[in-house]
Amino acid sequence: MRKSRRLLGATFLLLATMITGHCSDNGRGLHKQLYVVPAPGKVAVDGRLDEWDLSGMIEMFVVQATRATQSAKFAAMYDSEALYLGAEVNDPTPMMNMQDPAVNPERGWDADSCQFRLTTDPAVGYPILDESAWKYSGKKESDRRDDIVHLTLWHYTATAEPQLHMLLGMTYREPPNAPRGMVPPDQYEAKYLKREDGRGYTFEYRIPWRTLNAKAPLKAGDIVAGTVQFNWSRPDGQHTAGGSAWAYDVLRAPGFPFQSTACWGKLIFHPSGKVDRKLVEEGVPPDRPLPLEFAYELPEDAECTIQLFNDKNENVRILVAQQQRMGGRNVERWDGCDDSGNILPEGTYRWRGIYHQPIRAEYRFSVHNSGNPPYPTADGKGGWGGDHGVPQTVCAFDEGILMAWDSSEYGWGVIRTDFEGRKQWGCNYDATHMATDGETVFSAGGHGFTRSPHIQLMTVKEARPRQLGGKGELAAPPGGDDSSNRVTGLACDKGILYASYGARNLVAKFDTRDGSLISSWDVPQPGRLAVMSDGRVSVISGGKVLILREGKVEGSIAEHLDEPAGIACCDGEIFVANRGKLMNVSVFKETDCSYIRSIGREGGRPPKGRYDPSGMFMPGGIAVDKTGQLWVAEVADAPKRISCWDAKTGAFKKEFFGGCDYFAYGYIDPAKPDEILVHNVLWKIDWKTFGVTPVTTVWRKTEPAMIPYLGSGAYSASPKIITAANGRQYMYGNNYAHFSALFYREGDIFKPVMSKIHVGYDYIGPAGIPFMDEDREKYPQGQYFWQDQNGDCCVQPEEITPLKGTPLERFDIAWVFPDLSVLLSCGYILKPVSVEAGIPKYDLAKAEKYSLPVKYSTVPGEDGGIFTYEPSKTGLSLARWDRDGRMLWGYNGIPSWPESLNLGVTGPGKLWGMTQCMGKAGDFLVFQTYFGPNHIFRADGIYVGAILSDGRVMTDRGAYEGQPEGQGGYFGMLNIEPGKPGRYFVIGGGQDARVWEVLGLETIRDLPGGTYEHTAEKVARAEQALREYKMAIAAANRIVIGSDIESARSVEKELDTGAFFKVKVARDAQNLIVDYEVKSDIQLVNGVPDPKLLFKGGNCMDIQLENSRGEAVRALITKHNGRPFAALYFPKVKDFHGEPTVLNSPTGKESFDEITFLDDIELSCEKTDAGFHARARLPLKALRLELKSGQKLKMDVGYIFGNAQGTGKAVRRAYLFNNSFSANVIDDIPNESRLEPSEWGEATVE
């Protein structure tokens, strides 16, 4: 027994991905119940099943693709004397099981076998939720349950005899009538028969109730717990083929049947035969039609990919994508469609395939993010800082530090840490100024969701919004407008909040208890301010520091200041951050304002070049904590840094970086594998410890007309470094849409030598070159070419050439070759006319038309050919071309990411949403996807597989979540250790530049391939199956609003992640009643700070309908901060005359005439093993809805999946009907809030 239980434990992790209940391609766990029918009469146990009543038979299989070879149809019958079990099994090597019952009886399951588990006492009820195999580990004496029976059925190949193994309870005890668990042959009857075609078998068992040690025979009307499992062997019969060869069914919830009875389904002992198939298949979604088969041989157990190519060598279908298969003959079932879902035309195709050991990504380290860990985690403590913005300010209080960035989309604009910088929470607000009284965070600035100029309020404990005196924000004193009321400083002490309004020459005092305005002072140009130990206020004003007592100036500081930008007071000292040439912090006495000392190297850290942590750069908001540490927010990028110093000695203590830009990006030049470029900083890599240290800021604009550094994110920048043929390093990439530049390395700096300058006043804004932006007549909108003539890296009029009207007008650098020839996105190539001291010179007049295609993403090959990618829903998307322009292979119909939002989760073989090529290394190319996974292709056109996970399925987040909204990245091969093979790496991430090593590529081997004939008969079968499937889906999705919720018709939506929701809708005289059964690891919890944005946190039941006034209304129902809550959204209300609520984001806005909150809604919610069951009553009056029998109305139901706290952002949205672009967006408020009645279905009132 110990041996058996050790094996079960070893398979635990693999099983965790296998037993997941509903899954669109999964044939496991489809049935929640099995109908056990009366035996029709005397049954001869001959293995034929021809005397059986098979009306209760159910089918289970591993996955659709192997259903022809790994599936089983199982049935059970009963009479007063015995239980009958029978099955028809598809198996390419039938009845292979070499587990000797005399030697290893407990291992009978580990080859071709069936396992059936049940309880034999109906009096114990169903389900059985309290029995676990591991609960009683080491305490066998506490398990005395003889009614829990585990049966293993197999045919021992060596003797050609049927076997029956039986154990009792969840500690798997041997019953008294079965020594070592083996039931003697005289206590049961069994027979196996191999099918005539040799591709399957049947079996039949008759097991008396007395053999099962049942107290009494189970009879008509009894309901007990039970479950069934089939295992398929490897061809030699020594072991099963692992998780790719196990199928489970009759499960009430996901779980491990061998571990806990809680997941077991229901065995219903039906009183009569010929059970209605609707009852048997209740709750089972219609199968995806797979009418065709494809057979092939594998030399060994391996992951494999099988593809069909047409006569142009274009991939038409990936039949198997990076899937584990058994060695020997395999048969895949498929639908006869191409990868776009269209019926594959009749014709002759070529099939190709590969096999290999598992290919995976292994996390190594992250750069430019000081979170612990540096990537987001479900508890909110991982990751660090804002993505779009830079650090702005810090704020100390008794229990930690608050830090703020001025803009954030994916990261956190405000975070709380302890005094060591360990993050406690992060929130979506962002800020430029902050203060706190220890209970409330007062923040202002940043862009936020509402762009409000007012002071925002949230709790220190959890970052939840709060109100003071009934107000959710504090407005400026009367007078001024949104511009002049912009806050320029905040400080808090002893129940008073001080706020500076620089444009109004005003400092206001607010009561922190109720938010009321106490008074205001006239102060010239007030900026940041701090409260001194004696209650006076020190405020930055016009380049000086003023000391105020109740608004009256009592002193000032003017010396040892240089563009003061931040201020703090602690222990009788005033700390002032200087942003001018001093670039440090000056310290003064509070008593007489005399200068004491400075903190940080005078002159600060160089803006570019060798990185020096002992210097500050662009200090902003500062704070001193109670442990004597000075915290400095450095308002700059390259890198984004918050530094920490000893406030007394001035010693540098530590530094914190991040978060990375939208979205994280890094690049490693294979010629220098110990350096990684992240956020315009080169970092030194220690490959033994995976540690990184900043080495140099490669470039920064320090003069008005200077070319800026390249963007740091993957979205529009993707800077690359190459070592050219001359041995020198060069960098190229973009800065938003304004610049596309080439730099050369000189020591620690990369200097610009040529660039596009894009002036677009009306659409992308000025370029930032003063003499061009200020003379629009001379420099109209358009693109210009700049080339440095004097080595100053600045733009002069004589150095620029207009590109408008020339073939080079779309001038973006697509690639730089080793000879420094520059390939442009417009399809031209610029070859250097000279290279002096490593600096190339170019002549636009000598630009040549490139002979090969140049697309959205282009990667030249070493052989003179090229790889191109451009999304297309129908046409050529991905291709390789030889040097003569002939296409060598191609992939059609890869839709762009906006077209892919409604296509489900990506993964192996699911190519939709690919964005850019991350690089080519060795024989491989890797492509980023908008959803996170990276697709790997071989240079000869074979698809290899996918690494990393789609973030929409990772409710627990983690290191293996791919880049969200992925737009670019890095893939390369690095020779890290001399004399050893190169290693493959990818770089991506959300707000940390995450480095993974790709393992397993060296194990890839080719299959022989061959031809495949897709005949007219196969086409006809595929067309017929597709028609029937569409009809079945249409019939299943129909909402009926019943008169009783218990008997109401249910509809359900299954996601390809295995999650799903089932909904019933009913009505009574006052309410619309909704009943949800949700499969999710997360409960119905929501904690978003702003209830208007309830959808951001997810974990919401989402009901959308057209009310009796013709108004569209959306109801979100959840437990908000632990209490039942509903938000009703009305985009348009009849006869509305007020001001609508407008929800903004950088992409646009969505307007609502009315948003109503119901905090007294009736809501019940119970946790289940799979997720939860919730029921809510929505007042018809609140919905403005009247319902009558026979009425039809537009309606949709859905669910928004979130994380464990219901904060941050939603993980996934799904609706019964709506599958539009907006319905799938989880990163943009207007899209997330939008109602689309044209996408809804129809509901009928019963």
Which token pair is 572?
A: 């009788």
pLDDT at 62: 81
Could you tell me if residue 623 is inside a domain? no
Which token pair is 897?
A: 């990411």
Distance CA 766, CA 795 (A): 15
Total residue length of the chain: 1246
Strands (E), 145-290: 148-156, 161-168, 189-194, 200-208, 223-231, 246-249, 265-269
pLDDT at 954: 53
Could you tell me if residue 442 is inside a domain? yes
Could you tell me if residue 683 is inside a domain? no
pLDDT at 318: 97
If you average pLDDT over residues 1129-1144, what whole number do you get?
93
Decide which of 563 and 952 is more confident: 563
What's the pTM? 0.74
User: Which of 851, 885, 915 is at the close of a domain?
Assistant: 851
* Torsion sign across C-alpha atoms 1053, 1054, 1059, 1062: positive
| Most confident by average pLDDT, 143-152, 235-244, 517-526, 960-969 | 517-526
The reply to whether 1098 and 1230 lie within a common domain is: yes
Q: For residue 766, what are the domain limits?
A: 698-851
If you average pLDDT over residues 882-901, what whole number do you get?
93
Question: Which stretch of 200-214, 367-381, 681-695, 782-796 has the lowest confidence by average pLDDT?
Answer: 367-381
pLDDT at 760: 87
Range 653-666 burial, b when 16+ CB lie within 10 A, else e: eebbbbbbbbbbbb
Q: In the chain, how many domains are there?
A: 5
The reply to whether 779 and 803 lie within a common domain is: yes
Which amino acid makes up residue 381?
K
Distance CA 118, CA 108 (A): 18
pLDDT at 20: 30
Could you tell me if residue 536 is inside a domain? no
The reply to whether 1172 and 1055 lie within a common domain is: yes
449 has a pLDDT exceeding 50: no
The reply to whether 50 and 107 lie within a common domain is: yes
The reply to whether 330 and 408 lie within a common domain is: no
Query: pLDDT category, 916, cuts 50, 70, 90?
Result: very high
Distance CA 221, CA 215 (A): 16
CATH code of the domain containing 1082: 2.60.40.1190
Q: Coil, helix or strand for 96?
A: coil
pLDDT at 455: 94
1200 has a pLDDT exceeding 60: yes
pLDDT at 611: 97
Could you tell me if residue 991 is inside a domain? no
Q: What angle do CA 236, 241, 246 make, to 5 degrees?
A: 130
Could you tell me if residue 873 is inside a domain? no
If you average pLDDT over residues 385-400, what whole number do you get?
95
Decide which of 574 and 412 is more confident: 574
Residues above pLDDT 70, as percent of the chain: 94
Question: By CB neighbour count within 10 A (0-12 exposed, 13-18 middle, 19+ buried), where does 929 fall?
Answer: buried
The reply to whether 1022 and 1113 lie within a common domain is: no
Mean pLDDT score across all residues of the chain: 91
User: Which pLDDT tens digit goes with each residue over 478-495?
Assistant: 999 989 999 999 999 999
Which token pair is 683?
A: 């970092």
The reply to whether 314 and 427 lie within a common domain is: no
| Most confident by average pLDDT, 64-68, 258-262, 351-355, 447-451 | 351-355
Question: By CB neighbour count within 10 A (0-12 exposed, 13-18 middle, 19+ buried), where does 945 fall?
Answer: buried
Q: Specify the residue for token string 């029709």.
A: 40
pLDDT at 255: 72
User: Which of 446, 474, 502 is at the close of a domain?
Assistant: 474
582 has a pLDDT exceeding 80: yes
pLDDT at 1056: 64
The reply to whether 92 and 124 lie within a common domain is: yes
If you average pLDDT over residues 32-47, what whole number do you get?
95
Decide which of 189 and 873 is more confident: 189
CATH code of the domain containing 446: 2.40.10
Could you tell me if residue 1128 is inside a domain? yes
User: Which of 851, 881, 907 is at the close of a domain?
Assistant: 851
Decide which of 232 and 712 is more confident: 232
* CA-closest candidate to residue 104, choices 58, 144, 154: 154
Q: How far is CA 446 from the centre of its chain?
A: 26
Decide which of 810 and 16 is more confident: 810
pLDDT at 14: 29
Decide which of 173 and 957 is more confident: 173
Could you tell me if residue 1041 is inside a domain? yes
Residue 780 CA: distances (Å) to CA of 43, 598, 783, 803, 804: 93, 48, 9, 11, 10
Distance CA 516, CA 510 (A): 5
If you average pLDDT over residues 999-1012, what whole number do you get?
97
Which token pair is 488?
A: 């320029």
The reply to whether 1066 and 1160 lie within a common domain is: yes
Query: pLDDT category, 1207, cuts 50, 70, 90?
Result: confident
Are the CB atoms for 633 and 639 separated by under 8 Å?
no
Q: Coil, helix or strand for 667?
A: strand
Residue 864 CA: distances (Å) to CA of 847, 861, 867, 879, 951: 19, 6, 10, 14, 37
Distance CA 507, CA 591 (A): 22
Distance CA 722, CA 816 (A): 8
Decide which of 967 and 696 is more confident: 696
Query: pLDDT category, 8, cuts 50, 70, 90?
Result: very low
The reply to whether 45 and 166 lie within a common domain is: yes
The reply to whether 175 and 219 lie within a common domain is: yes
The reply to whether 93 and 187 lie within a common domain is: yes
